[in-house]
Amino acid sequence: MAPATSTERRQGDGAPRIILPARLDLPAAAPLAAELQSHADGPIVIDATNVAHLGTPGLQVLLSAVRTWWESGRDFSIEGLEEDAITRQLAIFGLTASDFQPRAAEG
């Protein structure tokens, strides 16, 4: 059973807003990758506020998304990474919120 990823349309530019599930682990990774890919032709907003458990597979999908959008030059933003719970999890991996900015992904 894959945890649900929910999508909302943002009012202004119509960019979909992907709300990440609380557990971003191996079972959640593939559905999330598919979901993100289906929106790859436009701008996107990812909301990570709810993420309580970030596993490596989920992390990779997010990093891959960063790269995908950076390469296509479309608008990409990921929100909620500055929350304490997520920062701490990223720190375990040796990452910070800046690693999810498209320009950082290049380096």
Partner 1 sequence: MRAPDPMAEIRASFFVECEELLESLQDGLTAMEGGASDSETINVCFRAVHSIKGGAGAFGLDDLVRFAHRYETVMDEMRAGRLSADAEAMRLFFRAADVLFDLVRAARDGTSLDEADIEATLSELEGLTGGSPKPEGEAEAVEFTPMTLSLDLPGLDISPDEAAAAPGWDISFKPERELFVTGNEPRHLLAALSEVGPLETRCDTSAVPPLWDLDPEENYLSWSMRLAADVDRERVAEIFDFVDGVCRLDISRCSSDVAGATACADRLSPDPTSARPDPEPEPATVPIAEPSAPTPVAAAGQTSPAPASPPEEPAKPKQTVRVDLDRIDRMVNLVGELVINQAMLTQSVAEMGIPANSPVSHGLEEFMQLTRDIQDSVMMIRAQPVKSLFQRMARIVREASASVDKRVRLVTDGEATEVDKTVIERLSDPLTHMVRNAVDHGLESRDKRVAAGKPDEGVVRLSAAHRSGRVIIEVSDDGAGINRPKVKQIAEEKGLIASGLQLSDSEIDNLLFLPGFSTASKVSDLSGRGVGMDVVRSSIQSLGGRIAISSEPGRGTTLQISLPLTLAVLDGMVVRVAGETIVVPLGSIVETLTLAGSEIRHLGPRTSVIHIRDSFVPLLDLGAELGYRTPLGQYDSSVVLLIAKEDGSRSALIVDEIQEQRQVVIKGLQESYGHVPGIAAATILGDGQVALILDPVDLMARASGATRAAADLTIIPGREPSAEESLHAG
List interacting residues with partner 1 (CB under 8 A).
1, 23, 25-27, 29-30, 32-33, 36-37, 40, 53-57, 59-61, 63-65, 67-68, 71, 82, 84, 87-99, 101, 103-105, 107
| Whole-Å CA distances, 60 to 14, 44, 75 | 26, 17, 19
Residue at token pair 């290049």: 106
CB of 3 to partner 1, least distance (A): 10
Residue 51: Cβ within 10 Å count: 24
Beta strand pairing call for 16-19 and 53-54: unpaired
**36 or 45: CB nearest partner 1:** 36
**13 or 106: CB nearest partner 1:** 106
